[in-house]
Amino acid sequence: MKTGFGYADIHFTHHAWRPLGLWVLTAVVLNILFGTANGYAGDMNYWFDWTNQLQTRGYSELNANYPPLYVHWLWLIAQFETGLHLVVSQDPLLRFLTNTPVLASHAMLLLLLDTLLQRAAVTDRQWNLTIGFAALNPAILLDGPLWGQVDLLFCLMTVTALALLIEARRLAWVFPLLVLAVLTKFQTICVAPLVLPLLWHRRRSKALWLGLLPALVLGVLLLLPYMLTGSLWNMISLAYLKASSMYPYATLNGNNLWFMLGLNSRPDNIFIFDLFEHAAPWQKYFTAKILGIFLCAVWGLGIAISSFRHDDGETHWRNGFLAAVGFFLFLPGMHERYLLPAVVIALCAAARYPRFLLPAICLAALSSINMLFVLHVNGGVVGIANSALTILFAIFAITSARLGRLPWLRWAGSIGLRWWGALAIGIWAIMLCIYLLPMLPDSKGWIDATSLKGRTTSQGWGELQIGNSVDGRVLKVNKLRYASGFGTHATSSITLSIPVGADSFSVLAGIDDESTAGEVEFLVMLDGDTVWRSGPVRSGEAPRKVVLDLHGHKKLDLIVDSLGDMQGDHADWLSPRFHVKR
């Protein structure tokens, strides 16, 4: 059986040791483990803010500079938490759910690589090196579960479309995949110099053009919520038209040409040749933006010409990751993570042509180093896990041919993918329950006090935060995190109307861990009378718990007394709930 380029398909009827399911499980577990660390909180703030907007206001007033596909996932998260009567907050549950598409994309990338490897004459050792490096890939793990970004989602769609075009198979899927990728992230255009020649070479395929209609329908469906709420133009403007002007810098921590010239975080309208002596008069018109676009266009044109002239798989795959490298290397406004598409494309190139494994490893190393310059990792088990993985991969790379002879590994390879997949889904479900169950009421009839409207507040510093500390961080007291609560600062008061039928109120009160020098006293008042006092509460102490009978009362006040000095008095009212008889 022949491919579109005359290469013979090689299907292995027996694999000595190709445990695809085990590698998929490994990728899933690593995504979960790396998600336990405190990554780049600044970007996580976007997911929280947009999910919170979708929960409270829907699409009509959404102010998000992101294409629609991932925003729809955030909407589903908002509906999920609303259905459970939870307030969206920056907690482990939100981090876990926002990372789920990346986790799924990582697993699906391994399936794509396996498909490509089946079409290449590779040994078991080469197969495991490629799949193993993809499962343990530091760039993918840093960008996704650790950083909190979803770049792998559009990378997977883009590289799958490239694979179908290059291999001339299932071409009806190409346009839908490209539409999905563009509606996930505009950065998909980095492979345009390769896509255009490939479309030209496959132009005689009816299946390719039949895919235009489902691609159009898919695009309309994804844009429909914005159309119905009258916010379509606002989304297009923020996510596409103004995307390049949001970060008007020569580079923003992206280790590329402009970083090398010392232009990191410098405006993209800076005149390049002013940096050098004896610049010619005509050179003064070249800004970083103009010169970067010009260099990227020349690079892309060279790639396009190469792929127009030589319609063979090896050339196309090489041009694919070179196009992504040039996009990162020359264009202004690049970020630390924007080399990831080149890493993913190079992995697929290595699956089809093993000689590309070295470039894939080098690109992954360069991408990882770039991210680590900015990403200050702390918390979780990342350090230990990364060290162990480095050692295991080194051992594996040297001895993989022998490892396949071990009885328990042969057994692992004999288990079907569906069973490993079921185990991976089971682990994901268990972790979801671990994050979710502590946030749910322990019995029916409870109302989260933070969800009630009509409260009045006052405080000595900052603004009242719902589901976060007064500084906007996750609620955390005595090293325990809480999904629901009021983050305030002494001296403060929160007045709530007691719901009809409420017979009791419970709450925990403590100083948030973000403060190391706080000392306050918590008070609860019912209809103006003080019914509970905590006594002095200091930073690092366990929260005080109170349960009050509400019969005959209509108004409840939560008071925080500064006890003199207000410095560091970051006070939290944790899990405040009314119990209502049903």
pLDDT over 90, % of the chain: 40
Q: What are phi and psi of 523, to 5 degrees?
A: -135, 145
Evaluate whether residue 434 is within a structural domain: no
Which residues lie closer than 8 Å to 8 by C-beta, 6 or more apart?
A: 1, 2
Q: Bigger pLDDT: 88 or 108?
A: 108
Q: In three state form, how does the secondary structure of 525-552 look?
A: EECCEEEEEEEEEECCCCCEEEEEECCC
Confidence of residue 8 (pLDDT cuts 50, 70, 90): very low
**10 Å Cβ neighbour count for 31?**
27
* DSSP letter, residue 296: H
Please, which residues bridge with residue 38 across strands? Answer: 378
Share above pLDDT 70 across residues of the chain, in percent, rounded to a whole number:
85
Compute the distance between CA of residue 574 and CA of residue 510 in angstroms, rounded to an integer: 8
The whole-number average pLDDT for the span 174-178 is 96
Based on the fold, state whether residues 398 and 482 are members of the same structural domain: no
pLDDT band per the 50, 70, 90 thresholds, residue 49: confident
Q: Is the pLDDT of residue 44 over 80?
A: no
14 three-class SS: coil
Average pLDDT over residues 188-214: 94
Same domain, 257 and 111: yes
Q: Which of 323, 311, 356, 342 is nearest to 117 (CA)?
A: 356
Average pLDDT over residues 264-274: 76
Question: Among 322-331, 389-398, 538-547, which stretch is predicted with the lowest mean pLDDT?
Answer: 389-398
Tell me the mean pLDDT in the region 403-425. 72
pLDDT, residue 273, reads 60
Q: Convert the pLDDT of each residue in 51-82 to its tens digit.
A: 888 887 889 888 888 999 999 999 999 888 87
What is the pLDDT averaged over residues 297-316?
Answer: 93
Q: How far apart are CA 205 and CA 171, in angstroms?
A: 8
Q: DSSP alpha helices (H): ranges in 168-201?
A: 174-182, 192-201
Read off the pLDDT of residues 89-104 as tens digits, 9 standing for 90 and up: 777 888 889 999 999 9
Please give the Cα distance from 466 to 55 (Å, whole number): 14
Residues 402 and 508 in one domain: no
State residue 373's pLDDT score: 77
Would 414 be classed as within a structural domain? no
DSSP assignments along 299-363, one per residue: HHHHHHHHHHH---HHHHHHHHHHHHHHHHHHSTTEETTTTHHHHHHHHHHHHHSGGGHHHHHHH
Q: What's the gap between Cα 248 and its chain centre?
A: 23
Whether residue 467 is found in the same domain as residue 385: no
Among 408, 434, 467, the domain-final residue is 408
Q: How many CB atoms lie within 10 A of CB 280?
A: 7
Two structure tokens written together for 167:
């291999």
Mean local confidence (pLDDT), 481-498: 88
Query: Domain range spanning residue 371?
Result: 20-408
> Which of the four pLDDT bands, split at 50, 70 and 90, describes residue 440?
low
Please check whether residues 403 and 535 belong to one and the same domain: no
Residue 376 pLDDT exceeds 80: no
User: Tokens 């027996």 correspond to what residue?
Assistant: 14
pLDDT over 80 at 413, yes or no: no
Distances in Å between the Cα of 250 and the Cα atoms of 255, 291, 337 are 11, 10, 15
Q: How far apart are CA 426 and CA 529, in angstroms?
A: 51
Confidence of residue 172 (pLDDT cuts 50, 70, 90): very high
Residue 33: how many CA atoms within 13 Å on its side-chain side? 16
404 and 510 together in one domain? no
Q: Which of 110-119, 259-268, 362-371, 565-574 has the highest mean pLDDT?
A: 110-119
Q: How confident is the model at residue 307 (pLDDT cuts 50, 70, 90)?
A: very high
* Residue 10 banded pLDDT, cuts 50, 70, 90: very low
Statement to judge: residues 389 and 477 lie in one domain:
no
Q: In this model, does residue 243 exceed pLDDT 90?
A: no
pLDDT at 383 over 80: no
pLDDT (0 to 100) of residue 13: 37
* Whole-angstrom distance, CA of residue 579 vs CA of residue 506: 8
Q: Are residues 397 and 473 in the same domain?
A: no
* Domain presence at residue 441: no
pLDDT at 31: 92
Quote the tokens at residue 4: 């579109």
User: Is 437 a member of any domain?
Assistant: no
Average pLDDT over residues 334-341: 91
CATH (domain of 535): 2.60.120.1060
Closest C-alpha to 131, from 354, 338, 319, 317: 354
Which residues on neighbouring strands pair with residue 577, listed in sequence order? 448, 506
Predicted pLDDT at 374: 75
Confidence of residue 83 (pLDDT cuts 50, 70, 90): confident
Of the candidates 505, 495, 508, the residue with the CA atom closest to the CA atom of residue 464: 495
**For the residues 318-326, what does the mean pLDDT come to?**
93
- pLDDT at position 404: 55
**116-156 pLDDT tens trace:** 998 888 888 889 889 999 999 989 999 998 888 999 999 99
Helix axes 192-201, 288-309, angle to 10 degrees: 30
Residue at 574 is within a domain: yes
Mean pLDDT of the chain: 84
Which ranges constitute the DSSP H helices of 35-150? 41-56, 68-83, 92-118, 124-135, 138-141
What span, in angstroms and rounded, lies between the C-alpha atoms of 364 and 58? 38
pLDDT band at 192 (very low <50, low <70, confident <90, very high): very high
Q: Which helix (H) or strand (E) holds 572?
A: strand 570-580
- For residues 80 and 97, is the Cβ–Cβ distance under 8 A? yes
Give the burial string for 51-62 (b: 16+ CB within 10 Å, else e): bbbbbeeebeeb
Whether 464 maps to a domain, the answer reads yes
CA–CA separation, 340 and 154 (whole Å): 11
Domain count, the chain: 2
The pLDDT-based confidence of 582 (bands split at 50, 70, 90) is low
Q: Is the pLDDT of residue 487 over 60?
A: yes
Same domain, 194 and 264: yes
Specify whether the CB–CB gap between 107 and 424 falls below 8 A: yes
Co-location of 388 and 456 in the same domain: no
Do 532 and 395 belong together in one domain?
no
Q: Note whether residue 182 is domain-resident.
A: yes
Burial of 261 (0-12, 13-18, 19+ CB in 10 A): middle
Question: Kind and range of the H or E element at 413?
Answer: helix 407-414
The verdict on pTM exceeding 0.85 is: no
Query: Tokens 């044109």 — which residue?
Result: 301
Highest mean pLDDT among 118-122, 206-210, 375-379: 206-210
Instruction: Identify the CA nearest to 572 among candidates 464, 458, 448, 486.
Output: 486
Report pLDDT for 9.
37
Return d(Cα 318, Cα 359) in angstroms, integer.
10
Which pLDDT value is given to residue 573? Answer: 94
| Same structural domain, 463 and 325 | no
Task: Tell me whether residue 541 is in a domain.
Answer: yes
* Angle at CA of residue 58, ends 55 and 63, nearest 5°: 100
